[in-house]
Amino acid sequence: MRSTTVTVATPATSANAYDFIVVANRLPVDRKIGADGEPVWQRSPGGLVTALAPVMENNDGAWVGWHGAPDETVEPFDQGNMHLVPVPLSAEDVEMYYEGFSNATLWPLYHDVIVPPEYHRTWWDRYERVNRRFAEAVSEIAAPNAVVWVQDYQLQLVPAMLRSARPDVKIGFFNHIPFPPYEIFAQLPWRARILDGLLGADLVGFQRQSDANNFLRSIRRLRGHIVRGSAVHVHDDAGTPTHISRAEAHPISIDTQRIIDLAKSPEVQERAKQIRSELGNPDTVLLGVDRLDYTKGIAHRIKAFGELLDDGRLSVGQACLVQVASPSRERVGSYLNLREEVEGLVGRINGEHDTLSHTAIRYLHHSYPVEEMVAMYMVADVILVTALRDGMNLVAKEYVASQDDQVGVLVLSEFTGAADQLRHAIQVNPHDIDGLKDAIVQAVEMPEAEAKRRMRIMRRHILSQDVTRWSETFLRSLSNEEIEVGAEK
Ligand SMILES: O=P(O)(O)OC[C@H]1O[C@H](O[C@H]2O[C@H](CO)[C@@H](O)[C@H](O)[C@H]2O)[C@H](O)[C@@H](O)[C@@H]1O
Ligand SMILES: O=c1ccn([C@@H]2O[C@H](COP(=O)(O)OP(=O)(O)O)[C@@H](O)[C@H]2O)c(=O)[nH]1
């Protein structure tokens, strides 16, 4: 096995140094090899990084996570205001803990078994070992009585491991993806171990109240602890009470002001005009932005759009769908299959409907920087967020934030966390293709006054409930301060 050591900057970490630590599977930057063969740092994919990066930039703390490259040990380094502490993963760890147990067992299980989860004991063993490594890395650098905030399904065993190594620290956990109903969770051969891992946290946060309820119901069914409201009275095997762990909903959000500032910047506005003109100035631009993931309902959306072209309810030149499908988990089988399915569908629809001057679907298998994302949001008259299941979906919130002078329309799946907050979107069941087609036509034809009214209400929400508010509310609850949940800032 090849292993390289790369020192990026002066080591910034020492033992027992940090009062505040975030630990996530990923660091905010990924180490990749550039076209010239030299290593480069790129922003990591996904909404977890989008949400946590601004929180960490404004807090003096450390971020512990994997740097995205297998078989490499990287020394701790600083990036902007952030102190990053890489946890190395071998190629085998990546295969069994990340691609395997995290993304081929837990991810599909927690997302309504859209594809069948795979259960392998060797993957579980590796998940446990890697979780222990993360817990040890945190334990070494946490100051006495530090606050440690563990993120997401890849690290569900870390809270209990950390509690036993460092009973002095305050432990929060936030689950970015849904927590499944008991009837689905019960499939997991290691279900009790996962619950015990999570119960190591003083506060377990979820995107939706229904996720918290699902979690509490599994605790009642499988662990026998007393549950009173959101509080779980945890006891040890001998029945001696040990601590209280609470489960609460804390819906995540975005750095709203940053998106608004970008939408106002002359460069982004100019770029938006350029994109529209490059698309041939269609009357209506529809947009989809997702990691290429089977949870996102990309094929459902493309199918609905294709049928609208077949039916003559939309036409090429009048309407164009731009679909950003950023690369994700490319070595996991179900992701490979999805890519084939989506690209086959796009090819067929474009083949049937494109003209020499206009395309039906502009499909982009790329990852773009935030400036380009905001320019695309500004171009889009309609955005289609049709996830079959999604913890939150920050794209929906970013779109709303970017509509400063625009009057875009958000079509939003009811199976996203965002649907709880963005109630004035056109909400859809993406499995209902006829309903989805009608919703798309309703969005395209929506009178401006109606679109403005809906957008104004959604923007009010996004402005007051931003990501800073999310982290403050969670961390205040973790430290047991009195808070008024849901109060405006
Ligand atoms: O790290 P990857 O395997 O490349 O995946 C990217 C991230 O995807 C998931 O994001 C989730 O978090 C978002 C913010 O809370 C939320 O809006 C979205 O609904 C979730 O799917 C995953 O949970 C992260 O751990 C990954 O880093
Ligand atoms: O090319 C892209 C595609 C997506 N994103 C960002 O990736 C995040 C996706 O988060 P979301 O919660 O919607 O879904 P996730 O990928 O985390 O499941 C959002 O901040 C997008 O702006 C990006 O920066 N470039």
Which amino acid would we find at residue 373? M
Could you tell me the pTM of the whole model? 0.95
Q: CB–CB of 206/175 below 8 Å?
A: yes
Looking at the structure, tell me whether residues 350 and 288 fall in a common domain. yes
pLDDT value for 481: 58
188 and 39 both lie in a single domain: yes
Give 215-247 pLDDT, tens digit per residue: 999 999 999 999 999 999 999 999 999 999 999
Ligand 2 centroid vs 367 CA: distance in angstroms?
9
| Protein residue closest via CA to atom 23 of ligand 2 | 368
Residue 481 belongs to some domain of the structure: no
291, 328, 467, best to mutate for ligand 2 pocket (most atoms within 8 Å of CB): 291
325 lines ligand 2 (CB under 6 A): no
Residue with tokens 């996720």: 211
Together in a domain, 230 and 365: no
> What count of Cα atoms within 13 Å lies in the side-chain half-sphere of residue 461?
20
* Distance between CA atoms of residues 120 and 14, nearest Å: 37
Both 212 and 276 in one domain: the answer is: no
Same domain, 242 and 260: no
Ligand 1 centroid, distance to 31 Cα (angstroms)? 18
Cα 150 from chain centroid (whole Å): 15
Q: 380 forms bridges with which residues in the sheet?
A: none
Examine the fold and report which residue of 214, 234, 249 is the final residue of a domain before the chain moves on. 249
Residue spans of alpha helices (H) in 15-115: 47-57, 91-93, 107-110
Indicate if 390 belongs to the active site.
Answer: yes
pLDDT tens readout for residues 103-118: 999 999 999 999 999 9
Tell me how far the alpha carbon of residue 471 lies from the centroid of ligand 1, in angstroms. 16
Domain assignment present for residue 488? The answer is: no
Residue 67 · residue 27 · CB < 8 Å: yes
The strand ranges marked E within 262-402 are 284-291, 319-326, 361-364, 382-385
Q: What is the DSSP letter of 416?
A: B
Do 411 and 427 belong to one domain? Answer: yes
Using left for φ > 0, alpha for ψ between -120 and 50, and beta otherwise, residue 329 falls in left
Q: Is 160 exposed, middle or buried, given 0-12, 13-18 or 19+ CB atoms closer than 10 A?
A: buried
pLDDT on residue 350: 98
Output the CA angle 289-293-298, nearest 5 degrees.
55
Question: Does ligand 2 lie within 6 Å of residue 28's CB atom?
Answer: no
Is 147 within 8 Å of 180 (Cβ atoms)? Answer: no
CA 54 from chain centre, in angstroms, equals 15
Tokens 């601004």 correspond to what residue? 54
Mean pLDDT, each 10-residue run in order, the chain (489 residues): 34 72 96 86 91 88 95 91 94 98 98 98 98 98 97 98 98 98 98 98 98 98 96 95 97 97 98 97 97 98 98 97 98 97 98 96 97 98 98 98 92 98 98 98 97 96 95 94 40
CA distance 137 to 256: 32
Indicate whether 27 and 141 sit together in one domain.
Answer: yes
* CA distance linking residue 313 with residue 459, whole number of Å: 30
In a domain, 381, yes or no: yes
Closest atom of ligand 2 to 370 CA is 24
3 state DSSP class of 173: strand
Q: Domain check: are 173 and 141 in the same one?
A: yes
Ligand nearest to the backbone CA of 325? 2
Give the ligand with the smallest distance to the CA of 376: 2
Let me know whether 418 and 370 are in one domain. yes
pLDDT at 385: 99
Residues 218 and 263 placed together within one structural domain of the fold: no
Ligand 2 near 54 CB (within 6 A): no
What pLDDT is recorded for position 38?
Answer: 85
> Residue 81 maps to which CATH number?
3.40.50.2000
Q: Ligand 1 pocket test: which of 26, 27, 48 has the largest number of ligand atoms within 8 Å of its C-beta?
A: 48
Q: Are residues 197 and 279 in the same domain?
A: no
Q: What would the two tokens of residue 64 be? A: 């512990």
Is residue 485 included in any domain, yes or no? no
Q: Please indicate whether residue 392, judged by its CB atom, sits closer than 6 Å to ligand 2.
A: yes
Per the structure, the count of domains in the chain is 2
pLDDT for 81 equals 84
Give the model confidence (pLDDT) of 62-102 as tens digits.
999 999 999 999 999 998 888 999 999 999 999 999 999 99
- Domain-embedded: residue 176: yes
The reply to whether 404 belongs to the active site is no
Domain boundary among 229, 249, 269: 249
Distance, CA of 131 to CA of 116 (rounded, Å) = 24
Please tell me which residue in 67, 83, 111, 176 is annotated as part of the active site.
176
Is the sign of the CA dihedral 97, 99, 100, 106 positive or negative?
Answer: positive
**Range of 37's domain?**
4-249
* Pocket of ligand 1 contains residue 329 by CB under 6 Å: yes
Q: What is the pLDDT of residue 14?
A: 65
